[in-house]
Structures are given as structure tokens and as C-alpha cells.
A and B are shown apart, each in its own frame.
Chain A
Amino acid sequence: MVEITHKGTWVKWSSLDARDKGWFVLSMAAALPFGLILAVPAGEWAYQLGHHLRSDGAPPDMRHFAAIVGSDVFRYAVIAGLICGTVSAAAWWRFSIRQDEMFNRIQNYALGQTGAWSLAGATAWWVLSLGGWTGPFLPGPFLAASLVLLCAFWFYAVARWA
């Protein structure tokens, strides 16, 4: 049964049996290609933000980024990344169902809170956009904010129960 260490950022390796280790390693390894795909738009946003802060409003040159995103290699890499992400999630689910109630209470709390607050945030964004208070709904920043929330609720739950 897994023991959570480093305030929720890692697990005690010796607490896992061979099957736990297999699912854990598969989940982490498959998450890497998926994370690399997500890093492309994240890099674009970071570049645009950095440019905006330094450039008096001149539009950034995004031709290199457009060439990468528009390439056939990237189009197929997105499909491969999505498959890897699905494999990672499935392996994590198999890992999770082998763990005890404290691990699952922590995980369910983090996922439940993140889901509820993300739904509330998406609803608020959409309703405000009807009145012209916000721009159109952007899934990228929304996903990034949801991931930050997930980490925050996970660390809170670990501090509370583990």
C-alpha cells in the first residue's frame, strides 16, 4: 500500500509491491509524452506573455510556432500524445484501486473539489461572457487553472489526513 511522502509530491518506493510499481511506472512514463504535447501551447503562452511584457504592444512573431503546430508531424504527435495520456490515466486508475482508503480519500477529495470548482468557474466565465464582461471561453487557460487547483487540493488533503 502506497505511502505519500514529501508533502504529497512523491511516494515511498519501498511501500509499493511489484504490481503497484508496474502501474505507477507505466502511468508516469505514459504521462511524459502527453505532457510534452501540452508543453507546446504552454510555451506559446509563455512566449506571448514575455513578449507582451517587453514590447510596448507590438505583436509577437509566431511564425515558428505556427510552422510547428501546422506540421503533419505535430498533428500525429497530438494523436500519439492523447493515446499516451489515456494509457497514463488508465494505469493510474489501476494503481489507485489497489491502494487503501486514505489514499483514495485524498485523491477523491482533490478530484471532487477540482471538478466542482472548475465547473463553477466555467459556468461563471460563460455567464459573464453573455454580458460582455469576459472574452470567449478558452479551454487552455481553463485547463491550466484546473491543474493548479488539483495540485492545491491534493497538497491540502495530504496535509490534513496523511
Chain B
Amino acid sequence: MGVTSRLHHLRHARSWTQADLARHVGVSRQTINSIETGRFEPSLSLALKLAALFGAPVEDIFALR
């Protein structure tokens, strides 16, 4: 069972690059890319950071596939 995310959509809504988003949450651009493409499931702390950054609940960004 994997995880899907709306990260790509949310990032585009703010006209951010992957590098921009990576800088905001303190990870590499590669990590953001892997999360957006569904290869990497973020830790709870990173998911909460992303949720706080976008002002949305975690379950609005991530969902079980």
C-alpha cells in the first residue's frame, strides 16, 4: 500500500520549483521529486512540515493509494 500526494498541484499553485519547496522544508530537490512521483513516502515530521507550509491538513496532501 503506497501513498499518493497532491504536492505537485499545491507547489504549482504557488509557482514554486521543486528546489524552492525543498528549501522551505529543509530537504533536497531530489526528495521532493521522489515524493511527487510516489517513489518515496515522507516521514510524519516532513509531512507535518509540508502541511504547515501549505496551511492544509496532512490528509488533504497525502492519502493512502
Contacts and interface: CB of A to CB of B under 8 A. Distances in A.
Interface of A: 1-4, 15, 99-103, 105, 160-162
A47 B29 CA distance: 46
Nearest to A159: B39
B43 A101 contact: yes
A46 to B, nearest CB: 37
Interface residues of B, number: 13
26 contacts: A1-B26, A1-B27, A1-B28, A1-B29, A1-B31, A3-B29, A15-B29, A15-B30, A99-B28, A100-B28, A100-B31, A101-B27, A101-B31, A101-B42, A101-B43, A101-B46, A102-B27, A102-B28, A102-B31, A102-B34, A102-B40, A105-B40, A161-B34, A161-B40, A162-B30, A162-B40
Name which of A99, A102, A162 has the most chain B CB atoms within 10 A of its CB: A102
Contacts of A103: 28
Contacts of A162: 30, 34, 39-40
A4 B31 CA distance: 10
Contacts of A4: 30
A22 B16 CA distance: 30
Contacts of A3: 28-30
A104 to B, nearest CB: 10
B2 to A, nearest CB: 12
Contacts of A2: 28
A101 B34 CA distance: 12
B48 interface: no
A105 B31 CA distance: 11
